[in-house]
Structure 1
Amino acid sequence: MIENIADDCDGLRICWCCGKQGYQERAHIIPHSLGGPDTAENLFLLCSACHLQAPDMRQARWFFDWINTEANRQLELNDDFWKVARAALEAGFPVAISAAQAERFCALYPVMIKELMIDATSHGCEVVASTLRAVSIGALDETLKIVGKRLR
């Protein structure tokens, strides 16, 4: 059974809590140090950030309460991000834009992401979702300012 979890880790590579893709760690639901077994029933794939934040309790209930709360929080944050992004786009482009203007926006946005990532950092080896959201929204604002000036 543990081999199946290892295969998932190498193949699917998605955190079962926040949905982040990439390298995943096998987290013990009940920590090994508290008697938790090394069985598939006691393992959960998490990114390193979620693994570090997961509760270390003898009762599995606390782990799953945290997973459910964290997963719902991630969904709410993603929903909030898209609401902000849509509002910013609508404010930046109150009228329909041309294909050339849309192309310019799409070309500038990744450049702004790279520029803003220079002023960002990580917790350990990973950039957390809140940092990525802040960079995304900042890049959206900056791109709209640049493209907006050229629209008028």
Structure 2
Amino acid sequence: MVLPWLLLGTACRAVLGSVEAALCGLKSIKGNHHNFYTAISKDVTYKELKNLLNSKNIMLIDVREAWEILEYGKIPGSINIPLDEVGEALQMNPTDFKEKYNEVKPSKSDNLVFSCLAGVRSKKALDTAISVGFHGAQHYAGGWKEWVTYEFSEKKQGN
């Protein structure tokens, strides 16, 4: 009769020890986590995105469906990875990524910017990218709608 209670006590200590270790781990990153998240949650503005694209210092990933891009167009320099493929794509090996998307797979330290139509799907893609270790990722909340509006306005003004 003593053996089941002994095992139960050992199991409880193991679980509590795991929880305690996890909480200690959270405490150890707590100070950095807030500042870190603030840095990565920044939206990219139209002007910032345009400058980044001109500098060729980012990979812009449009997470809309392929038919949307064919029908409405895309931001020049962007590649299409539909939202439901983002998590898998970012975890592919470089050869498979290159074969499927015709681009070099970004490293976890590369600057990624996600865009979509109006910012909702790109935010989800950003969350996915961060969850798989792409901590420098950002998103263009204005999306295709804002891009087209600004581009039209600049062309109309002769810029």
**TM-score, normalising length: structure 1:** 0.28
The one of the two structures with greater contact order (alpha-carbon pairs below 8 A, sep at least 6) is: 2
**TM-score, normalising length: structure 2:** 0.28
Which structure would you say has the larger Rg? 2
